């Protein structure tokens, strides 16, 4: 059996505002980042649906974008091409987390998001 060109149709990825949301941990090995680079990182984090900065070089973002989308976004920031950083999807379900942090961090994890 043969199909006409373009069949089956390819489905484009969801745009970020309707894509299924996930939590990504983003951590930089270099700290402190140069001021200009850090400002670019803060601007990028502001594009997430929600974010948490819980350490000098560690962020968690709630986003519809993939780890690779974030990697490509961060690479555009001046000064980050020479910095090692990690982006990994995480599961923050109550049964899959433990540790010691201030209450506001746990409250952020428990926040209801649409």
* 68-102 pLDDT per residue, tens: 999 999 999 999 999 999 999 999 999 999 999 99
* Assessment of whether the complete model's pTM goes beyond 0.75: yes
Domain membership of residue 82 (yes or no) is yes
Domain membership of residue 3 (yes or no) is no
Domain membership of residue 16 (yes or no) is no
Domain hosting 37: range is 22-106
Q: What is the CATH number of the domain that holds 88?
A: 3.30.70
Q: Which of 34, 28, 62 is nearest to 47 (CA)?
A: 62
d(CA 100, CA 62): 21
């Amino acid at each position: 059996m043969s199909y006409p060109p373009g069949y089956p149709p390819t489905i484009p990825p969801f745009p970020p505002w309707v894509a299924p949301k996930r939590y990504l941990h983003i951590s930089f090995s270099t700290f402190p980042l140069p001021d200009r680079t850090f400002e670019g990182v803060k601007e990028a984090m502001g594009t997430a649906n929600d974010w948490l900065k819980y350490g000098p070089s560690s962020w968690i973002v709630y986003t519809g974008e993939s780890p690779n989308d974030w990697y490509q976004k961060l690479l555009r920031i001046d000064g980050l091409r020479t910095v090692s950083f990690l982006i990994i999807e995480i599961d923050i379900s109550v049964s899959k987390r433990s540790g010691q942090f201030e209450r506001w961090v746990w409250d952020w994890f428990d926040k209801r998001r649409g």
